[in-house]
A and B are shown apart, each in its own frame.
Chain A
């Protein structure tokens, strides 16, 4: 069963004389338990696409189905309900509330959902132990390292058991070691909890953790790679090949 179904989505900016097609007729599906990456150069439309999927923005045309529900037809109040029940977000800038402790940041997602207070505590601890952040639960964001912050954000995203976790350049602000730890956490969440993850990135190393990658160029799907039984290193090289073909954002990696 497909969790996410994107059908001919278009997003245009501007007016007739000066039209920018940020997303130009993209269609794809994501099955439950998949770990999909979206890659593309900056300006290729990948963030716009993610914004449309995450209901933060609306497509000009086309339909997006999450769990069989067409989110392009939902009203703003239903959207908020949908967002908190079905989606989990991880952003590049962590986006933790600086006035709240790690525990509270994670608990907030649950309390907005109206979860029973007793359950909240159990749930937060469970997620935190899975992401190995139990020891920072009492700390404030400014007392944590970037990697810890991102894992807290990640814990917040999955604490509500969303159908789909959306990650926008999650490793963008992390050093390579923290990035690796985070990606391993993602991988584990995907394998052990069968969480469905959709991740936008321009970094080939980050992308190599995914099971499938969709490449976007100028608002259109350019290519698709499936990892299959490849090792991560092999997959990484295949990604690099495509990236080079795309016009080489990461050609200077070596």
Chain B
């Protein structure tokens, strides 16, 4: 009997709140998918460094999953409270008919149990299949072949999902039992009579708060643009605080402000159902401005995560080829701890390695780097860039400028199959390919430098961008190439050995990493093009997955709340729209009004979040340019498309189901 009652209640609420239950299942599905990555890797032929990345990815994702489950937990608790509140009258009726509170609780527990079972089941089922797709995507992103594609089922992730969501649902059950025990019959029966508190705010005050909110948001923007995102300091927290406060005040006063403005414009206000739509929105935001604010901020995080995540990912993977022109490079340093200021005279990497080098390579080249008594700050300080942008350079300005002999430079060019250059006696060539500092040089006129009492003019009046070693990214922050004679009296501070493999790459790679690098007796680091490729791909996958995981969870959570708020209101709306019909509003007018109401409600937090994120991404873009050379604009477009697709789908689903509700019930 009770089971039957619970079952029919579940059926009804699943029908009315389909959007919410789909979200729940989707959340479970995402949770399973991303936690099952460790069992998927068996399918992929991954290199050692990629496996390392996957290992850290699994750790990060399981840490994130706790966070994600908390977010989803909040969504579920919020939704549950909502659904219970809407059913007060029904619960009151049970009590009136003589059902004890214990039994009512039992019905609710049973309902929650059925719902959680269904959503867990559906979510896991979809997740198990979708995770196969994720393997394919992973393989593609790591640019490896799926060695032996087979159906992967991750028991670990399966149990983890059940555990996490089981706990959430258990909390909900307890929550409901406590809630029911507190209810009084009189309140339950009168629940529908008591409307949402229509707080009548003085419109004048609304306008004032609205203006204050603008001031707050403007101040927050100023702080964050001035401070940037790299440094978390007082100004940064100021930006966060005023941004949040401004957002809260914005939603608190928005509807009052709109009402005031539109009321003054009678042509708009008194046209068709405009007045009705505006009032609908007004009453809804007045009670929900806090959740609106939270949603807006969550959307901001989503946009940020998606855009900068994808941006970061491509920043790492773009231009690997350019950054690694040789199969391997070794860079030797002088030992600062032993108070050396230059390399020992006889340091020659090629000789130290000896015969082993010939086993893997026919073509190798050792070049030297020198340190000039000119500091980077010397040429940058003269530039036209204001002091406020210096922050991203850090101690860089205090470093001496690196220099290279022309002969070495030409050898590098030759090895890269490029045309050599020839410098006059009093000329120097400027080489730089690190994007973050490039613009500093571009802005200044580094026409000539003085070195040892001799003036050198800039060769061809331009900047060259040759990558003369293999490294994680284009990282030459500025090297002066001088005629050999000019550097004769200096001692090299670094040596770089560039190697191109011969024969089997795999063999050479193993030989280089396994034998040559460990046997080096000097202070040196070595890196291979293969490692760089693996790592940057790994980071790309890592960052994209995390961004997508967090972004999607935040997105569906916030849109689900919006949808719930609109759907749950439709019980009130049914009467309102029926009344409109009775006083002669056509179906078309009513649909338009409903559409406008839901559209505006969905757009409001999004619009502000977009404005916030435009500012945020403008600032973040500067960070990403420091890390890599990708501009974020294109990625933002991709992120925006994903984002709008999900958002649009939720909006449409909400609209259609609201429309169904008001139509269905009005047929007398």
A-B interface contact total, Cβ < 8 Å = 87
Tell me the A36-64 residues at the B interface (CB within 8 Å). Answer: 51, 54, 56-57
List chain B residues, Cβ under 8 A from A117: 266-267, 269-271
How many Å lie between the Cα of A140 and that of B201 in the bound state? 13
B583 touches A89 (CB 8 A): yes
A104 touches B275 (CB 8 A): yes
B271 touches A111 (CB 8 A): yes
A118 touches B587 (CB 8 A): no
Q: Does A112 contact B (CB under 8 A)?
A: yes
Q: Return the chain A residue nearest B585 by Cβ.
A: A112
Q: Does B582 contact A (CB under 8 A)?
A: yes
B576 touches A142 (CB 8 A): no
How many Å lie between the Cα of A14 and that of B600 in the bound state? 44
How many Å lie between the Cα of A99 and that of B573 in the bound state? 11
List chain B residues, Cβ under 8 A from A111: 270-275
B584 partner, pick from A51, A85, A95, beta carbons under 8 A: A85
A87 touches B584 (CB 8 A): yes
B interface, over-half SS: helix
How many Å lie between the Cα of A240 and that of B585 in the bound state? 40
How many Å lie between the Cα of A140 and that of B196 in the bound state? 13
A112 touches B198 (CB 8 A): no
B584 touches A113 (CB 8 A): yes
How many Å lie between the Cα of A82 and that of B575 in the bound state? 21
Q: Return the chain B residue nearest A88 by Cβ.
A: B583
List chain A residues, Cβ under 8 A from B451: none
When each residue 59-95 of chain A gets 1 if its CB lies under 8 Å from chain B and 0 otherwise, what string results? 0000000000000000011001111110101000001
Instruction: Report the contact-size class of chain A (Cβ under 8 Å from the partner).
Output: 35 or more
How many Å lie between the Cα of A145 and that of B541 in the bound state? 65
Q: Does B603 contact A (CB under 8 A)?
A: no
How many Å lie between the Cα of A107 and that of B263 in the bound state? 13
Residue of A57, A97, A121 with most chain B CB atoms under a 10 A cut-off:
A97
How many Å lie between the Cα of A183 and that of B504 in the bound state? 103
Q: Does A125 contact B (CB under 8 A)?
A: no
Given the known A-B contacts A57-B668, A100-B279, A108-B275, are A83 and B583 also in contact in the complex, defined by CB atoms under 8 Å? yes
How many Å lie between the Cα of A81 and that of B585 in the bound state? 8
When each residue 93-123 of chain A gets 1 if its CB lies under 8 Å from chain B and 0 otherwise, what string results? 0010111100010011111111001101100
Least Cβ–Cβ distance between A33 and chain B, in angstroms: 23
Given the known A-B contacts A97-B579, A100-B275, A100-B279, are A80 and B587 also in contact in the complex, defined by CB atoms under 8 Å? yes
How many Å lie between the Cα of A110 and that of B269 in the bound state? 12
Q: Return the chain A residue nearest B272 by Cβ.
A: A111
Given the known A-B contacts A56-B668, A107-B275, are A112 and B266 also in contact in the complex, defined by CB atoms under 8 Å? no
How many Å lie between the Cα of A51 and that of B200 in the bound state? 36
A80 touches B195 (CB 8 A): no
Q: Return the chain B residue nearest A138 by Cβ.
A: B200
Residue of A51, A80, A82, A114 with most chain B CB atoms under a 10 A cut-off:
A80
List chain B residues, Cβ under 8 A from A140: 198, 200
Least Cβ–Cβ distance between B239 and chain A, in angstroms: 37
When each residue 182-199 of chain B gets 1 if its CB lies under 8 Å from chain A and 0 otherwise, what string results? 000000000000010010
Least Cβ–Cβ distance between B661 and chain A, in angstroms: 18
B282 partner, pick from A99, A108, A120, A121, beta carbons under 8 A: A99
Q: Does B280 contact A (CB under 8 A)?
A: yes
Q: Return the chain A residue nearest B582 by Cβ.
A: A89
How many Å lie between the Cα of A111 and that of B579 in the bound state? 15
How many Å lie between the Cα of A80 and that of B271 in the bound state? 17
New A-B pairs, 7, CB < 8 Å, besides A97-B579, A112-B580, A112-B584: A100-B279, A104-B275, A108-B583, A111-B270, A111-B273, A111-B274, A113-B584
**7 CB < 8 A contacts A-B:** A80-B581, A84-B584, A85-B584, A111-B271, A117-B266, A117-B269, A120-B266
